[in-house]
């Protein structure tokens, strides 16, 4: 779906940006021009970024271990 109509930015593009390390609407503005015209998309873009980061946090446990634990070197 289109999130930013002024610049034709989709939710998929915002999720991809989040995966690439974008962490704020300010950075989305710099990379995709989100919220740089009318600004109506800023709140939804922020929500999408937060959701993408939460999903990434749940998908990748600490240390990359599927069990979420780290081996202790002996």
What token pair was written down for 71? 């081996």
Per the listing, tokens 């989100």 go with 34
Nearer Cβ to ligand FES, position 40 or 70? 40
Nearer Cβ to ligand FES, position 32 or 52? 32
What token pair was written down for 65? 């271990």
Residues that bind ligand FES (CB under 6 A): 4-6, 34-41
Nearest to 50 by CA among 4, 9, 10, 14: 14
Least Cβ distance, residue 49 to ligand FES (angstroms)? 14
Nearer Cβ to ligand FES, position 42 or 52? 42
């Amino acid at each position: 779906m289109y999130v930013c109509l002024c610049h034709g930015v989709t939710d998929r593009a915002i999720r991809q940006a989040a995966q690439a390390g974008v962490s704020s609407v300010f950075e989305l503005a710099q990379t995709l021009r989100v919220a740089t015209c009318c600004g109506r998309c800023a709140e939804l873009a922020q929500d999408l970024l937060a959701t993408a980061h939460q999903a990434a946090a749940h998908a990748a446990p600490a240390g990359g271990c599927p069990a979420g634990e780290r081996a202790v070197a002996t």
